[in-house]
């Protein structure tokens, strides 16, 4: 018997088992490609939004400088009745209906009387500025809500690039993709630092690196620092968009996240006014200028508002017709916000209805605060500086991202090169 016959048979070869990988290892190529292509294709729109947004952060100061003579008046001994100031504004602007009146917000502020005007775009109005101490008209300017001409121009630049309805698609595209790019980049950066076991460098740049590696370090660190703010801007920015904004409005309506409409009807009809809206004034009165002196007049309405504890800044809206009441609403949009509103019977001066901000659903308050923070008006100059920092940080991140793309370009290849497949 041979030795081969005595040796045991060899065991069958066992195929090597595939190494199990974690979820992030499997997802990383997808996230990397998504972040890369979104950065290449969508970043130009985000860059435009960041640049125009940076300009917008300075809009309050620009407005105050440009319209200083209209907004500020010498402090006098006593302010004239509002009815006399409205009469002076009407003499300066004979055409159009009066939309609203904003009494002075401080001792050196002018009174604003807002008119419809056929010489401006449909959504715009004309605001006449009146000295409350002398009834002298200090000028009139185009306005959109409470924003005057230059601020309205900057606002429109940021929202639509002055391209009308078509331009709104750019801002919606930027807001819709910003959160995708931010979350993808954040996941990639944290994952990279974990694999390198350099977690501290998630938030601190590696200054020892050179070239593309150093660029990547700054790109990731700055993106990490501003990530939360960018996500908040993305969510709040979508509320103004065409498509997503409409869906958000439907959701708020479905869950009753809006403030209760205030009743302006003097009869038993249901309330005809909508919920709280900062961007648009109420419809112009059709009862004519006699309403400002008939009954209790605007002076009596102002007295009722003061007795009810309403404080400046106030918007006073004339009745839309003979069966409607005056509306007086607080419009303090900086923290702590104040939006209490009443309607007043033009004949008796009695309060018809009242809606206090404290009675709003929490989500209605939260929505208003988020929008105010996005616009840089909730926390004053601090809010503006934070937004400016976010805008500058985002611009730097985008430019460094394009720089990294350029640094990684093929330099020795000839002919058409498509790069490595995903």
Residues forming beta bridges with residue 324, ordered by sequence position:
265
pLDDT in tens, 74-117: 999 999 999 999 999 999 999 999 999 999 999 999 999 999 99
CA distance 258 to 368: 10
Alpha-carbon span 289 to 101, nearest angstrom: 13
Q: What is the DSSP string of 264-319?
A: -BSSSSPP---S--SSSPPPPPSS-GGGGTSTTHHHHHHHHHHHTT--SSEEEE--
Strand partners, 109: 72
C-alpha separations of 264 from 15, 256, 268, 320 in Å: 81, 21, 11, 9
Residue 408: the pLDDT is: 82
One DSSP character per residue, 50-64 reads: HHHHHHHHTHHHHHH
137-174 pLDDT, tens digit each: 999 999 999 999 999 999 999 999 999 888 888 888 99
pLDDT at 286 over 80: no
Instruction: Say what percent of the chain tops pLDDT 90.
Output: 67
Helix (H, G, I), strand (E, B) or coil at 146: coil
pLDDT band, residue 329 (cuts 50/70/90): very high
At 311, is the pLDDT very low, low, confident or very high (cuts 50, 70, 90)? very high
DSSP helix/strand/coil, 34: helix
Give the residue, 259 or 315, on which the prediction is more confident. Answer: 315
Predicted pLDDT of residue 87: 96
Structure confidence at residue 414 (pLDDT):
63
Rounded CA gap, 93 and 99, in Å?
Answer: 13
DSSP string of 305-361? HHHTT--SSEEEE--SSTTB-EEEEE-B-SSSPB--EEEE-TTT--EEEEE-GGGS-
On whether the CB atoms of residues 314 and 103 are closer than 8 A, the answer is yes
Taking Cα atoms as reference points, which of 375, 371, 168, 367 lies closest to residue 252?
367
User: For residue 270, what pLDDT band results from cuts at 50, 70 and 90?
Assistant: very low
Say how many Å lie between the first and final Cα of the chain, rounded.
Answer: 60
The angle formed by the CA atoms of residues 411, 414 and 415, to the nearest 5 degrees, is 130
Question: Which is more confidently placed, 1 or 44?
Answer: 44
How many residues make up the chain in this entry?
422
Cα gap 242→262, rounded to integer Å: 27
Q: Say which residues have a Cβ less than 8 Å from residue 243's Cβ, sequence separation at least 6.
A: 172
d(CA 253, CA 246): 11
What's the whole-number mean pLDDT along residues 309-319? Answer: 96
pLDDT band, very low/low/confident/very high, at 281 (cuts 50, 70, 90): very low
Q: What are 184-212's pLDDT values in tens digits?
A: 999 999 988 887 777 777 888 888 888 88
Within 58-94, residue ranges assigned H as helices are: 59-66, 68-71, 82-92
* pLDDT score of 283 more than 70: no
**pLDDT tens digit string along 332-377?**
999 999 999 999 999 999 999 999 999 999 999 999 999 999 999 9
Least Cα distance to 378 among 162, 57, 68, 126 occurs for 57
């Amino acid at each position: 018997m041979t030795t081969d016959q005595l040796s045991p048979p060899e065991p069958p070869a066992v195929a090597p088992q595939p190494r199990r990988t974690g979820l992030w290892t499997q997802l990383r190529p997808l996230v990397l490609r998504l972040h890369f292509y979104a950065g290449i294709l969508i970043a130009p729109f985000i860059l435009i939004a960041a640049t125009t947004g940076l300009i917008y952060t300075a809009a309050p100061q620009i407005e105050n400088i440009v319209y200083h003579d209209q907004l500020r008046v010498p402090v006098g001994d006593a302010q004239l009745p509002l009815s006399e100031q409205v009469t002076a504004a009407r003499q300066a602007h004979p055409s159009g209906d009066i939309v609203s009146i904003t009494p002075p917000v401080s001792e050196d502020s002018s009174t604003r009387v807002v008119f419809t005007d056929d010489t401006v775009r449909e959504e715009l109005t004309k605001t006449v500025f009146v000295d409350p101490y002398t009834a002298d008209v200090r000028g009139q300017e185009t306005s959109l809500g409470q924003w005057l001409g230059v601020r309205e121009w900057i606002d429109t630049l940021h929202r639509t690039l002055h391209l009308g309805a078509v331009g709104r698609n750019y801002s919606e595209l930027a807001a819709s993709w910003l959160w995708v790019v931010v979350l993808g980049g954040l996941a990639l950066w944290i994952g990279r630092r974990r694999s390198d076991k350099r977690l501290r460098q998630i938030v601190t740049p590696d200054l020892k690196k050179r070239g593309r590696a150093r660029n990547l370090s700054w790109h990731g660190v700055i993106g990490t620092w501003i990530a939360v703010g960018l996500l908040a801007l993305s969510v709040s920015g979508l509320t103004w968009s065409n498509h997503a904004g409409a869906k958000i409005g439907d959701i708020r309506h479905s869950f009753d996240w809006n403030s209760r409409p205030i009743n302006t009807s003097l009869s038993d009809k249901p309330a005809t006014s909508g919920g709280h809206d900062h961007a648009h004034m109420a419809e112009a009165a059709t009862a004519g200028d006699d309403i400002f002196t008939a009954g209790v007049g605007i002076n009596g309405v102002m007295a009722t508002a003061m007795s009810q504890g309403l404080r400046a800044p106030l918007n006073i809206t004339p009745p839309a017709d003979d069966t409607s009441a005056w509306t007086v609403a607080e419009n303090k949009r900086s923290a702590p916000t104040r939006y209490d509103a009443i309607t007043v019977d033009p004949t008796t001066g009695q309060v018809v209805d009242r809606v206090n901000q404290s009675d709003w659903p929490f989500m209605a308050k939260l929505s208003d605060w988020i929008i105010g923070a996005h616009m840089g008006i909730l926390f004053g100059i601090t809010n503006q500086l934070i937004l400016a920092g976010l805008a500058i940080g985002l611009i730097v991140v985008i430019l460094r991202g394009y720089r990294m793309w350029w640094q990684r370009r093929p330099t020795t290849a000839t002919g058409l090169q498509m790069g490595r497949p995903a």
